[in-house]
Chains A and B, each alone.
Chain A
Amino acid sequence: MKNNFLKGIIHGIPIALGYLSVSFGFGITAVRAGLSVLAAVGISASNLTSAGQAAGVEIIAAGGTLIEMALTQLIINLRYSLMGLSLTQKLDDSFTVPHRMLASFGITDEIFAVAYAQPHKVSPFYMYGLILISFIGWTSGTFLGAAAGQALPPAFTSAMGILLYGMFIAIIIPPSRKNISIFGAVLAAALISLLFEYVLTEVSVGFAIIISASAAAALMAIISPVPDEEGEK
């Protein structure tokens, strides 16, 4: 049990370091959008999600409705459901329902990727180690960015605003290079999103993301559906 926990922590160190710098950018963005340091850290500690939080802060700043907030989180974070489904095949026998309920809090793109890449089934304490170190990186980075954001030179904090988006690009570009359908989906989503930004400007930011992402994914699901025998990937 202890060994697995430690192993999880060690495997999570690269994730934590990445999160530390990216969430620093989130902390700055949140404070710039008018949130308090406590609110920024509270969002990071309770959500542990990059894209969802960034959209959430935009909606709060724009005074959006709670329905818009709930729907936006649902669509943006829907991928975690799919990752959760894949992970069910990867959990060892000691993963009882309470363990599943606790560990599910920590499903993120990177934590899923590391857990899924293990050659054997994973235990609850391995997952807790992985999640804990990542969680510490994410929340402490948010705190530092939110608290120190005001003290740093404006040129520095302005540039840090791009960190989170840089991480998104790092996630979407490599698979786009290998798979033309994924590239098509990425391109379609970006183009529809641009349409909302510059032409259909009356649509709010949350709904613009939902519609752009859903339409592009549906389009590619029709043009290039995944193979029938998809295996466990």
Chain B
Amino acid sequence: MSIAVYVAVMAGVTYLIRMLPLTLFRSKIKSRFLRSFLHYIPYTVLSAMTFPAIFYSTGNTITAAIGTIAALITAFFGLPLIVVALAAAGTALLAGFFI
């Protein structure tokens, strides 16, 4: 299948998700379950995407695990997004030289 078709579907769905609520919706969601579900979704999506994929992200499980630990520590201390991301990549890179 052509990559352009995949990209069109990706972009189309993503745009509609963003556009419809902002443009059409004016009232509040009533269902408490639905509101709770939507409250947790950002976190569960990112978590499910990260684990275990992060361990394969550098092509070497050991360097990836070291980078993951660096990210967890820097994130735990609330450091900015860019610092956490670069700490993960930097330690994975350094670890690669020793393995």
Contacts and interface: CB of A to CB of B under 8 A. Distances in A.
Binding site of B, secondary structure by majority: helix, strand, loop or mixed? helix
Contacts of B41: 75, 78-79, 82, 213-214, 217
Contact of A51 (B45, B74, B78, B87): B45
Given A163-B88, A167-B81, A155 B45 contact: no
Given A159-B92, A189-B47, A213-B45, A21 B23 contact: no
B1 to A, nearest CB: 7
Contact of B25 (A84, A158, A190): A84
Contacts of A156: 93
A203 interface: no
A188 B44 contact: yes
Contacts of A18: 80-82, 85
Nearest to A20: B82
Contacts of A87: 22
Interface string B48-74: 111111100111100110011001101
Interface in B1-46: 1, 3, 5-7, 9-11, 13-15, 17-23, 25-26, 28-29, 32-33, 35-46
Contact of B36 (A42, A69, A187, A225): A225
A60 B6 contact: yes
A197 to B, nearest CB: 5
A39 B4 CA distance: 8
Give chain A's interface residue range (CB within 8 Å of chain B): 35 or more
A189 B13 CA distance: 23
Contact of B67 (A166, A212, A218, A228): A166
A18 B81 CA distance: 7
Given A46-B10, A77-B14, A225-B35, 19 more contacts: A25-B89, A39-B7, A47-B11, A56-B6, A75-B41, A75-B45, A81-B17, A82-B39, A155-B96, A158-B63, A159-B58, A162-B71, A169-B68, A170-B79, A186-B43, A186-B47, A218-B37, A221-B36, A221-B37
Interface of A: 14, 17-18, 21-22, 25, 29, 35-36, 39, 42-43, 46-47, 49, 51-56, 58-60, 63, 66, 69-70, 73-82, 84-85, 87-88, 97, 100-101, 103-105, 107, 109-110, 155-156, 158-177, 181-182, 185-190, 192-194, 197-198, 208-209, 212-214, 216-218, 220-222, 224-226, 228, 230
